């Protein structure tokens, strides 16, 4: 199969590595990709946010399936353009992608679908923000309504910080003020063909920059899967997944279909396990980053078949995807100054040494090759992934890999999956 993957981050690299691992060979193209992705796919000089350019390329090159990784091409309507030309694409159209592109739209869909979530107020002025903060009390939750690369949310007990965050985004439109929900967070992915959903295995990510969940919010500093502690709360992963599928994913998919905006692609449910039950924090319309980097290495079924079935409307022909009993942990290596002002262009060394460690592989997030040397070109530069028979083994392997790599001023957390592994 000829598959075009749109995007340039570690999530897209993880998708490509999963496709590469299948027994059936694929011709995999990536646009624009990065230096690490270039070792596993043919890089294409193509703007992934340009519907006409992507559609034209896919048609001219007889692409069998397009997989859209990041959110921006979805909101730009790339999936719509491909479907209009009869090209199978894994990713929702622009209307359905508003589930991620607009927090207000997502809240409305959840309310109408009867999906449990926190109370929220849409605030368009500083005065409305202040009133909403006072209504809900601290800790304060303020969210940008549109796309913000995973950094549009602040959770803080500091009212002035909450006001400042809102002021940053108000010039672009309203913000959402939400009630604070307490409990462990879980990320759960669902494949959807517009009518049916199939769940993947849950993961947990770490959004704060520093150990102990200190520091600013980021796009994600690490993740692990599976979540053994779900057994204590739900009796096991299967029971938890069944609950979320029945009470959250299926009602949302039905609601979107009823509105004439069927969701075809990856529904990412960001969940929180409160004392009063499982509630939705937010939805994304694509694979999560860095959770994809730990979920897909455990997938036992061919990813290409599942993505094509979703894109073609035939998920009902597939059983729930199966996963290995192995555990996976990923740690993000970020540039100095991330997330505010990352210092880029610095050398990444030790990558070959890390990849020689048993059970370790790399997913490149923002890298380039210069004179044979990998350079960090963005804030989150590299993901190190460790896979083992237990979380303890996966953690040991991933941190051996992290320790083999050097990036001047680089940042990473040392506590990814520590609590779950009993470390």
Any idea what the CATH number is for the domain that residue 150 is in? 3.30.1490.20
Same domain, yes or no: 313 and 331: no
**Of the residues 160, 178, 196, the one at which a domain ends:** 178
- 400 within some domain: yes
Closest to 280 (Cα-Cα) out of 150, 147, 116: 116
**Alpha helices for 68-145 (secondary structure H):** 71-75, 78-84, 94-101, 103-113, 126-136
Same domain, yes or no: 162 and 255: no
Closest to 246 (Cα-Cα) out of 292, 202, 197: 197
Please give the backbone phi and psi of residue 99, each rounded to the nearest 5 degrees, phi first. -55, -30
* DSSP structure string for 238-279: HHHHHHHIIIIIHHHHHHHHHTT---EEEEEEEEEEETTEEE
Measured CA to CA, the distance from residue 91 to residue 57 in angstroms comes to 17
For residue 87, give the CATH number of its domain: 3.40.50.20
Into how many domains does the chain fold? 4
Measured CA to CA, the distance from residue 171 to residue 173 in angstroms comes to 6
**Of the residues 143, 178, 213, the one at which a domain ends:** 178
- 67 within some domain: yes
- 97 within some domain: no
pTM of the shown model: 0.93
Q: What is the pLDDT along the chain (423 residues), one digit of tens a residue?
A: 999 999 999 999 999 999 999 999 999 999 999 999 999 999 999 999 999 999 999 999 999 999 999 999 999 999 999 999 999 999 999 999 999 988 889 989 999 999 999 888 889 999 999 999 999 999 999 988 765 555 578 889 999 999 999 999 999 888 999 899 999 999 999 999 999 999 999 999 999 999 999 999 899 999 999 999 999 989 999 999 999 999 999 999 999 999 999 999 999 999 999 999 999 999 999 999 999 999 999 999 999 999 999 999 999 999 999 999 999 999 999 999 999 999 999 999 999 999 999 999 999 999 999 999 999 999 999 999 999 999 999 999 999 999 999 999 999 999 999 999 997
- 193 within some domain: yes
Same domain, yes or no: 389 and 417: yes
- 294 within some domain: yes
**Of the residues 138, 160, 178, the one at which a domain ends:** 178
- Which residue range(s) make up the domain with 134? 119-178
Same domain, yes or no: 231 and 167: no
């Amino acid at each position: 199969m000829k598959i075009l993957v749109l995007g340039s981050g570690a999530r897209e690299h993880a998708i490509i590595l999963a496709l590469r691992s299948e027994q059936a060979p694929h011709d995999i193209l990536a646009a624009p990709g990065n230096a690490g992705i270039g070792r596993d796919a043919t890089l294409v000089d193509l703007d992934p946010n340009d519907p006409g350019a992507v559609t034209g390329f896919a048609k001219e090159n007889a692409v069998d399936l397009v997989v859209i990784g990041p959110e921006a091409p979805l909101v730009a309507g790339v999936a719509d353009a491909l479907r209009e030309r009869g090209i199978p694409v894994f990713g929702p159209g622009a209307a359905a992608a508003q589930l991620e592109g607009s927090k207000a739209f997502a809240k409305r869909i959840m309310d109408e679908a009867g999906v449990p979530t926190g109370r929220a107020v849409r605030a368009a002025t500083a005065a409305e923000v202040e009133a909403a903060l006072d209504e809900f009390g601290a800790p304060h939750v303020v969210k940008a309504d549109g796309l913000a690369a995973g950094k549009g949310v602040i959770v803080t007990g500091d009212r002035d910080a909450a006001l400042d965050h809102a002021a940053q985004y108000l010039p672009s439109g309203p913000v959402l003020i939400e009630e604070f929900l307490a409990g462990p967070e879980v990320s759960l992915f669902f494949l959807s063909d517009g009518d049916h959903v199939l769940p993947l295995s849950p993961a947990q990510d770490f959004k704060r920059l520093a150990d102990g969940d200190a520091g600013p919010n980021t796009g994600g500093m690490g993740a692990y899967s599976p979540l053994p502690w779900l057994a204590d709360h739900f009796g096991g992963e299967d029971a938890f997944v069944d609950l979320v599928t029945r009470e959250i994913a299926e009602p949302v998919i039905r609601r979107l279909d009823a509105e004439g905006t069927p969701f075809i692609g990856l529904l990412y449910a960001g969940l929180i396990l409160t004392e009063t039950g499982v509630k939705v924090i937010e939805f994304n319309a694509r694979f999560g980053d860095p959770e994809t980097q730990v979920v897909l290495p455990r997938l036992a079924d061919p990813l290409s078949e599942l993505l094509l079935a979703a894109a073609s409307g035939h998920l009902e022909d597939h059983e729930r995807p199966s996963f290995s009993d192995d555990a996976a942990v990923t740690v993000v290596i970020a540039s100095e100054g991330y997330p505010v002002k990352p210092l880029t262009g610095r050398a990444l060394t030790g990558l070959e040494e890390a990849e020689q460690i048993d059970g370790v592989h790399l997913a490149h997030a923002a890298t380039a090759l210069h004179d044979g040397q990998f350079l960090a070109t963005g804030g989150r530069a590299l993901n190190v992934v460790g896979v083992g028979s237990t979380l303890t083994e996966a953690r040991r392997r991933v941190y051996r890999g992290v320790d083999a790599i050097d990036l001047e001023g680089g940042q990473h957390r040392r506590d990814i999956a520590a609590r779950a592994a009993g470390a």
